[in-house]
Copies of this chain bind each other. A is one copy, B any other.
Amino acid sequence: MATIIDGRNSAAELNATTARRVAQLKKKGIVPGIAVILVGDDPASVIYTRNKDRKAKKLGIRSILKRFPADARQAEVLATIQEFNNDDRINAILVQSPLPSQLDETTLVQAIDPAKDVDGFHPVNVGKLYGNEEGNYPIPCTPRGIMTMLSKYQVPIAGSNAVIIGRSNLVGKPMLSLLTNANATVTMLNHLTPNPQYYTQNADLLIVGVGQPNFIHAADVKKGATVIDVGINRNSSGHLVGDVDFEDVQKVAAKITPVPGGVGPMTIASLMEQTVDLAEWSE
């Protein structure tokens, strides 16, 4: 049976480290600050931003949750981003997705000061990650959390064959960059890939984020592989499940993340970690 990669435990450990770093900064008179912009009342976004706000405060981070009505105009949101850009007490800014259709997300993300872009979505930061540039810059938090777990569970990356299913800008593409930069051979599959098993059955590391329950079965997985499940779906009985048939796949995989309790908890923990990074880098 596979080793379970425990995201809750990993997140608790990371949060403890983050809290210690915040305490250290406070001795120097620095309080890291994050500003989250939420437009409208999308229920998942309301919960998610509230969780970010609570977690930040719990760790000693200054947190501002700025809400706009669903019919907010682009200019208002832009003006708020500019205020946060110019506010020395704010080190980290994020605009919660999804946005109402009258708002242009690309323009809003590009308006964030790249040095405060805690989601790592600004093209300047995307380009640096892609180019494997040296120096400090933020990267998307879900892939960052995955890399932290892979390291904690001593999963070898260099020289491995990695396969990513799903090519989102949030997960698939930054994951591709991080693994490529760490000397893995990476294939990113999409819905047109004629022979996905050709790749998945040869993958030492399989990362799945397609939003479809039971998308990956034991027959798709190489014996001894590490399987990372980024999916969050609700099954017919209302339970949270990932994209991987966990019971089946854990028989062949060497290491596997569960859902819930795998990738999810690490994303907010990595967001908090990166908020403190941005505060330290801005000194």
Contacts and interface: CB of A to CB of B under 8 A. Distances in A.
Contacts of A185: 187-190, 192-194, 199
A70 interface: no
A127 B133 contact: no
Contacts of A180: 167, 173, 188, 190
Copies, count: 2
Interface in A122-171: 122-128, 130-133, 158-159, 161, 167, 169
Output the residue of A127, A133, A187 with the most chain B CB within 10 A.
Answer: A127
A102 interface: no
B190 A183 contact: yes
A128 B123 contact: yes
A82 to B, nearest CB: 19
Contacts of A183: 190, 192
Contact of A127 (B126, B167, B192, B199): B126
Contacts of A186: 187-188
Q: Place the interface of chain A in its size category.
A: 20 to 34
A195 B161 contact: yes
A122 B133 contact: no
Contacts of A123: 123-128, 131, 133
Contacts of A131: 123, 126, 169, 173
A192 B124 contact: no
A192 B187 CA distance: 14
A101 interface: no
A18 B189 CA distance: 36
A106 interface: yes
Interface in A192-226: 192-195, 198-199, 202
A201 to B, nearest CB: 11
A126 B130 CA distance: 8
Nearest to A177: B130
A128 B126 CA distance: 8
Nearest to A186: B188
Contacts of A198: 202
A179 to B, nearest CB: 10
Contacts of A158: 192
Nearest to A185: B193
24 contacts: A123-B125, A123-B128, A124-B124, A124-B127, A126-B126, A127-B127, A127-B130, A130-B130, A130-B169, A130-B173, A131-B173, A158-B192, A159-B192, A161-B193, A167-B180, A183-B192, A185-B188, A185-B189, A185-B190, A185-B194, A185-B199, A186-B187, A187-B187, A195-B202
In the complex, the 5 A-B pairs of residues with the closest C-beta atoms, listed nearest first: A123-B127, A126-B127, A127-B127, A187-B187, A159-B192
